[in-house]
């Protein structure tokens, strides 16, 4: 799967959401729904925006919310906040719980924090994606531990509406190819829902750093060298309206992880 910068999508958010689910778990789990808030932050307001997020994390921790979020930032100043959901109806449950938490901690404190975001971003939008374990590859012995996945690479696939099934079948072929070569680095695939430019998929890969990611990518390119790999990439391109990629990082300092005994999923 080569990108426009000749990067083989063999070691690819949120995961873009690597922290939300390890690659070793990806093929064992059922499709998981995620709620994503995308904030396009003004470059000159990054410090102010991040300070507001950290304060919100602190207030949420004080309120002992059961609902976590994972934060990611990309190199084009987008910040993504990702929360797992049971289903779309679970949004109402979470919003009601947040209302109660705000009252308990102090509505005026949360209101002040809300105002701290003013003027820090161009826009914020909400969308939904769900994990596709059947279109993801998890090596038996992953190269990286989840906490080592500091650099993230996202491949964004905007699929022709008439070629969705074809796209799915091609990615299943990728999974088979990677398994047959026992590739050490995996990729996790998510399918976009409401709030995304459907049909939309994104593939998440990771590395310890940009240098580590691209060095490993070179190795994987050699492993998959041959007509089959090129054939699959050409077939993939034929199903797309558009292809983009982003790089970024997981932001534990801007994330809220619930201390609940059972994770909310």
- Is 7 a residue whose pLDDT tops 80? no
Q: Which residue has the higher pLDDT, 132 or 147?
A: 132
Beta-carbon neighbour count of residue 4 at 10 Å? 8
- Is 94 a residue whose pLDDT tops 80? yes
- Parallel/antiparallel/unpaired status of strands 240-250 and 188-192: unpaired
Q: Which residues contact 23 (CB under 8 A, 6 or more apart)?
A: 15, 136, 137, 138, 139, 142, 186, 187, 188
Contact between 153 and 11 under an 8 Å Cβ cutoff? The reply is yes
Instruction: Choose the weakest-confidence range: 151-155, 170-174, 222-226.
Output: 222-226
Stated length of the chain: 265
For 16-36, the pLDDT digits (tens) are: 344 343 333 444 556 789 999
Instruction: Output the pLDDT for position 147.
Output: 84
Q: Which residue has the higher pLDDT, 19 or 185?
A: 185
- Is 186 a residue whose pLDDT tops 70? yes
Contact between 62 and 103 under an 8 Å Cβ cutoff? The reply is no
Q: Which residues contact 47 (CB under 8 A, 6 or more apart)?
A: none
Contact between 53 and 46 under an 8 Å Cβ cutoff? The reply is no
- Is 262 a residue whose pLDDT tops 80? no
Confidence of residue 194 (pLDDT cuts 50, 70, 90): very high
For 215-245, the pLDDT digits (tens) are: 998 888 888 877 678 889 999 999 999 999 9
Instruction: Output the pLDDT for position 68.
Output: 93
Instruction: Output the pLDDT for position 88.
Output: 86
Instruction: Choose the weakest-confidence range: 28-42, 73-87, 160-174, 231-245.
Output: 28-42
**pLDDT, the chain, mean:** 86
Beta-carbon neighbour count of residue 101 at 10 Å? 18
Contact between 88 and 35 under an 8 Å Cβ cutoff? The reply is no
Q: Which residues contact 144 (CB under 8 A, 6 or more apart)?
A: 185, 206, 207, 208
- Is 106 a residue whose pLDDT tops 70? yes
- The fold adopted by the segment(s) 23-254 is Alpha-Beta Plaits (3.30.70)
Percent of the chain with pLDDT over 90: 72
Q: Rounded mean pLDDT of 81-88?
A: 91
Instruction: Output the pLDDT for position 259.
Output: 67
């Amino acid at each position: 799967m080569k990108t426009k910068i000749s990067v083989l999508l063999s070691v690819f958010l949120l995961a873009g959401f690597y922290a939300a689910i390890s690659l070793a778990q990806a093929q064992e789990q059922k499709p998981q729904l995620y709620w994503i808030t995308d904030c396009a932050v003004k470059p000159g307001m990054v410090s102010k925006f991040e300070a507001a997020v950290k304060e919100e994390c602190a207030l949420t921790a004080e309120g002992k919310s059961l609902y976590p979020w994972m934060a990611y930032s990309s190199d084009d100043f987008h910040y993504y906040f990702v929360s797992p959901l049971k289903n779309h109806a679970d949004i109402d449950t979470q919003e009601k719980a947040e209302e109660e938490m705000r009252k308990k901690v102090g509505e005026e404190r949360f209101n002040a924090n809300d105002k701290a975001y003013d003027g820090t971003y161009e826009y914020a939008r909400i969308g939904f994606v769900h994990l596709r374990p059947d279109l993801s590859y998890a090596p038996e012995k992953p190269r990286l531990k989840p906490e080592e996945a500091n650099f993230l690479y996202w491949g964004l696939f905007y699929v022709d509406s008439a070629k969705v099934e074809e796209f799915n079948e091609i990615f299943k072929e990728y999974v088979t190819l990677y398994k047959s070569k026992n590739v050490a680095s995996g990729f996790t695939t998510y399918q976009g829902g409401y709030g995304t430019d459907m049909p939309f998929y994104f593939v998440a890969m990771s590395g310890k750093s940009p240098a580590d990611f691209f060095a490993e990518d070179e190795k994987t390119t050699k492993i998959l060298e041959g007509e089959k790999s090129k054939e699959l990439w050409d077939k993939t391109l034929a199903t797309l309206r558009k292809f983009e990629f982003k790089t970024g990082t997981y932001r534990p300092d801007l994330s809220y992880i619930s201390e609940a005994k059972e994770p909310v999923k």
